[in-house]
Amino acid sequence: MPTAFVGAAVFDGTVLHRDAVLLTDGPWVTGVSSCVPKGTTVVSLAGGILAPGLIDLQVNGGGGRMVDDQTDVETLRVICETHARLGTTGLLPTLITATPQATARVIAAGVASLSTPGFLGLHLEGPHLDPRRKGAHDAALIRSMTDEDLAVLTDAASRLPALMVTLAPSAVRPDQIAELAAAGVIVSLGHTECSFDQAEAAIAAGACCATHLFNAMSGLGHREPGLVGAVLTHDIAAGVIADTIHVAPAALRIAATVRQTGLFLVSDCMAVAGTDQEQATLGGRSILRRNGRLTLQDGTLAGADLTLPQAIANMVNRVGLSPERALSMATRCPAQVIGREDLGQLTPGTRADIVHLSEAFQLQAVWQGGQRRL
């Protein structure tokens, strides 16, 4: 049934249209108009903004479930369903550093989840990292990439809609990065103490992204610019955790000023997302939820207690970005990173994944494939 959404501004992925009407037909967007066509079902909204469904490329868990060595199809379904109710209609479930067996299990679950609403592929954050920048990852499981690992990843990329792999230049060879990129893997640099030159070499080999900019990476120095400097001076994508805890608003403002394109928002959330739980488990270690933070018992940050609507609000209210820029960082930009032109936009032929946000960017309603979820 053709549907017209009226009463809210419409952000189409690039432009914020005031006094506009969003038109859909079943699971597809048919356009943005100034009037309601005859024979159309009308959905009336009380102000706010209609935007494309939010896309999160780093989701460790939700709904009480973690992506870990016990993950199966049901785990991924619960995580995707939980985040749909939080405004994220498409995501990459993320496995942090784990054993080869756990990695194989998560890949198998992902391949079996292709029809799960909201499942866009996987993000494997490790184990090929730098232990000097391990963050909350288990240092005992961090290791260099073998040719067997490479074969597993290239095969997974052929069977998944998208595969992002976070790695450190010190744990891989440039030819391995090149082979991953040629196989369609989104190679993301992170958890690394690499130099600016090492980062440049990895980018030249095919790395096209960076994982949670500023966090768990070599910082910007005036003589050694590190990975942060490489990201700010190269045309690669980079995720940012905009909870204002992982990265100060001033640093986010600097990055957004230097890099006018390519930055996207991630939640880096854990199992507690979408629940009232005050504790979760990560590799047998407790994660504590206190005052908007998630930490290990020693105080190490372990993911974020964040939703993408909250991140958008922070980018507008704390960092000073325009609503259009902040919204694009959670919609069109991450969709481009994973090559999904049918997502992250409200233009003719794209999926009717839609969120309704208040003027303060609080989530009001969610539609996924034209069906209301919240």
Strands in 54-59's sheet, in edge-to-edge order, are 54-59, 88-96, 122-125, 163-167, 186-189, 209-210, 237-240, 263-265
Proportion of the chain above pLDDT 70, given as a percent: 100
How is 93-160 classified by DSSP, letter by letter? EEEES--HHHHHHHHHHHHTTTTSTTB--EEEE-SSS-GGG-TTS-GGG--PPPHHHHHHHHHHHHHS
Q: Which CATH architecture has domain 54-337?
A: Alpha-Beta Barrel (3.20)
Q: In this structure, which amino acid lies at residue 366?
A: V
Q: Is residue 1 pLDDT above 90, yes or no?
A: no
Which residue is listed with tokens 């989104």? Answer: 186
CA–CA separation, 164 and 92 (whole Å): 8
The tens digit of pLDDT for each residue in 160-213 reads: 999 999 999 999 999 999 999 999 999 999 999 999 999 999 999 999 999 999
- Mean pLDDT, the chain, whole residue set: 97
Q: Confidence class of residue 267 from pLDDT cuts 50, 70 and 90?
A: very high
How is 284-304 classified by DSSP, letter by letter? TEEEEEETTEEEETTS-EEEE
Cα angle vertex 287, ends 241, 244, to 5°? Answer: 25
Q: Is residue 214 pLDDT above 90, yes or no?
A: yes
The predicted pLDDT at position 82 comes to 98
Instruction: Give the residue extent of every domain in the chain.
Output: 2-51+346-372, 54-337
The predicted pLDDT at position 174 comes to 97
For residue 241, give the nearest of 356, 125, 149, 151 by alpha carbon. Answer: 125
The CATH number of domain 2-51+346-372 is 2.30.40.10:
yes
Q: Please name every residue paired with 305 in a beta bridge, in sequence order, or none if there are none.
A: none
Cα angle vertex 81, ends 346, 92, to 5°? Answer: 70
Q: Is residue 283 pLDDT above 90, yes or no?
A: no
Q: In this structure, which amino acid lies at residue 276?
A: D
Count the helices and strands in the chain (H runs, E runs): 10, 24
The answer to whether 120 and 161 are in contact (CB under 8 A) is yes
CA–CA separation, 53 and 330 (whole Å): 9
The tens digit of pLDDT for each residue in 54-85 reads: 999 999 999 999 999 999 999 999 999 999 99
Residues 15-41 have a mean pLDDT of 96
Domains 2-51+346-372 and 54-337 share a fold: no
Catalytic residue selected from 268, 276, 305, 342 = 268
Q: Any residues with CB less than 8 A from the CB of 334 and at least 6 apart, and which?
A: 55, 56, 57, 239, 264, 265, 266, 344
The predicted pLDDT at position 284 comes to 87
The predicted pLDDT at position 308 comes to 98
CA–CA separation, 240 and 334 (whole Å): 11
The tens digit of pLDDT for each residue in 230-242 reads: 999 999 999 999 9
The tens digit of pLDDT for each residue in 90-143 reads: 999 999 999 999 999 999 999 999 999 999 999 999 999 999 999 999 999 999
Is residue 268 part of the annotated active site? The answer reads yes
Under DSSP, the state recorded for 12 is: -
The answer to whether 331 and 90 are in contact (CB under 8 A) is no
pTM (two decimals): 0.97
Q: Is residue 278 pLDDT above 90, yes or no?
A: yes
